């Protein structure tokens, strides 16, 4: 029996050197079988190995083998990455919808309607992180709600020939903004800035080194989990509140650098956003994962003041993106925008214009796939409303659409799209 344990310990220690872990499992199972056949059952006693480290009884070894087998099964079942479809037909789901009992039924309806891409949350606006990562910092379980098993979700979607896209909210993070005020922009008097006195803080300093490092870490963990694409949302600076008093870290860093070097060129918000997106692209490229980003609706028009405030310069961002998602919801525009009379209920006009302009400013290699409104907020929602948005995207040369409904209720919408297709 001691020989058996010595051999088991040996193969466990060299398992990383074996090119095929299947061989490891077979070897361990063979040895276990021979040990059981040649020795009386050991029971639950504790056994020490040759270096004096206590090991569980032999009855615990099969569990270890099962864990190794489970890991290998995930690796072997992980299908090849699914590249973007010629025309993306996507649907957003919250993390809670993905783990709910409704998930299979949602996928059935989506598949029947021709949906080929599912976007699901791995981090939301509240700052909740929904997948397992080696925890960094002292925020603990309050931040990490590890309900999403990325390989399992990816396999479920790939089995239906659907792309698995993980949405990660960037600089809007209510949890961290409340938990650590030093991660927020600062006021000119060096107190912590927030966008509203009546509401709790929501925005982090988009140029803060610690904030960026944390998000890039999450991006890498998601990319290494097997998703087809990482989608960055809220990858911008805040646009509400008393912005003239908001001091961001890049401003302080630049001021210090300019004092030391008179030739130093001061940065603007678009410089910070482009640099961050570029670093995210480097990470995704290492894992053969495409990178996408959502942009503020009005940013599609690329007015100078909007670019300066948000930091979202489409031409510069799309140099590093595979796909860009302008969130062109008609409900978010004023009634008279573009000299119209009822923009919320003229979805074709606003979607056509927004898609066309996004394509105009985007890098030629970057696909333009707008989010479209799939809810009745402030609009006369109907099948015709949905059809108008899709037709506008096609007419403007867009590369697809993603349905957005915060409550993830798509029954009527998917039924309409199935009829439309």
Confidence label for 32 from pLDDT (cuts 50, 70 and 90)? very low
The pLDDT of residue 75 is 39
Say what the pLDDT of residue 6 is.
42
Task: For the chain, list the domains and their CATH numbers.
Answer: 2-77 (no CATH), 88-420 (3.20.20.80)
Query: Which whole number is the average pLDDT over 15-26?
Result: 47
- % of the chain surpassing 70 pLDDT: 80
pLDDT of residue 309: 97
HEC string for 28-42: HHHHHHHHHHHCCCC
Which pLDDT value is given to residue 79?
62
**For residues 178 and 183, what is the distance between their CA atoms, to the nearest angstrom?**
9
Helices 383-395 + 347-361 axis angle, to 10: 30
Q: Please tell me the predicted confidence (pLDDT) of residue 55.
A: 29
- Residue 234 main-chain phi, psi, to 5 deg: 55, 40
Confidence tier at 421 by pLDDT (50, 70, 90):
confident
**Window from 20-24, 65-69, 325-329, 365-369 with minimum mean pLDDT:** 65-69
Q: How confident is the model at residue 5 (pLDDT cuts 50, 70, 90)?
A: very low
Among candidates 134, 140, 142, 148, which has minimal Cα distance to 94?
A: 148
What are the tens digits of pLDDT across the range 134-158? Answer: 866 556 678 999 999 999 999 999 9
Q: Give the list of residues 6+ apart from residue 325 with CB closer than 8 angstroms, or none.
A: 231, 292, 293, 294, 295, 369, 370, 371, 402
φ/ψ of residue 127, rounded to 5: 100, 5
Segment 335-362, tens digit of pLDDT: 999 989 999 999 999 999 999 999 999 9
Q: Is the pLDDT of residue 31 over 50?
A: no
Alpha-carbon span 381 to 374, nearest angstrom: 8
Average pLDDT of span 198-206: 95
| Alpha-carbon gap, residue 170 to 379, rounded angstroms | 29
pLDDT of residue 74: 42
User: What average pLDDT does range 19-36 have in this prediction?
Assistant: 47
Mean pLDDT of the chain, nearest integer: 86
> How many CB atoms lie under 10 A from the CB of residue 51?
6
């Amino acid at each position: 029996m001691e020989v058996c344990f010595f051999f088991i310990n040996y193969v466990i220690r060299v398992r990383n050197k074996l090119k095929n872990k299947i061989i490891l499992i077979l070897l361990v199972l063979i040895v276990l079988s021979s040990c059981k056949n040649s020795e009386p059952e050991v029971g639950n006693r504790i056994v020490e190995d040759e270096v004096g480290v206590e090991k569980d009884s032999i009855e615990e070894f099969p569990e270890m083998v099962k864990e190794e087998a489970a890991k290998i099964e995930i690796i072997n079942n992980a299908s090849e990455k699914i590249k973007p479809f010629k025309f993306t037909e996507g649907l957003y789901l919250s993390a809670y919808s993905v783990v709910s009992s409704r998930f299979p039924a949602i996928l059935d309806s989506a598949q029947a309607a021709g949906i080929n891409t599912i976007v699901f949350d791995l981090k939301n606006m509240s700052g909740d992180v929904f997948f397992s990562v080696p925890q960094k910092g002292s925020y603990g379980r309050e931040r990490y709600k590890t309900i999403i098993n990325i390989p399992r979700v990816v396999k479920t979607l790939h089995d239906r020939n659907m792309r698995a896209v993980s949405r990660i909210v960037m600089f809007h993070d209510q949890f961290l903004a409340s938990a650590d005020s030093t991660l927020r922009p600062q006021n000119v008097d060096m107190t912590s800035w927030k966008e509203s006195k009546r509401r709790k803080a929501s925005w982090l300093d988009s140029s803060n080194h610690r904030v960026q490092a944390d998000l890039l870490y999450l991006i890498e963990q998601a990319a290494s989990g097997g998703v087809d694409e990482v989608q960055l949302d809220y990858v911008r600076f805040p646009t509400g509140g008393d912005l003239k008093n908001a001091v961001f870290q890049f401003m302080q860093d630049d001021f210090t650098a300019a004092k030391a070097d008179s030739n130093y060129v001061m940065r603007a918000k678009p410089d910070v956003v482009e640099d961050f997106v570029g670093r995210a692209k480097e990470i995704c490229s290492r894992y053969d994962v495409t990178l996408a980003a959502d942009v503020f609706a009005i940013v599609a028009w690329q007015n100078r003041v909007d670019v300066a405030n948000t930091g979202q310069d489409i031409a510069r961002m799309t140099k590093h993106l595979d796909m860009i998602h302008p969130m062109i919801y008609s409900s978010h525009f004023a009634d008279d925008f573009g000299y119209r009379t009822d923009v919320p209920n003229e979805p074709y006009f606003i979607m056509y214009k927004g898609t066309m302009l996004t394509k105009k400013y985007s890098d030629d290699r970057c696909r333009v796939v707008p989010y479209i409104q799939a809810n009745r907020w402030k609009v006369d929602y109907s099948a015709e409303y949905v059809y108008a948005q899709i037709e506008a995207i096609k007419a403007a040369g867009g590369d697809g659409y993603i349905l957005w409904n915060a409550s993830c209720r798509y029954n009527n919408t998917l039924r309409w799209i199935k009829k439309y297709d």
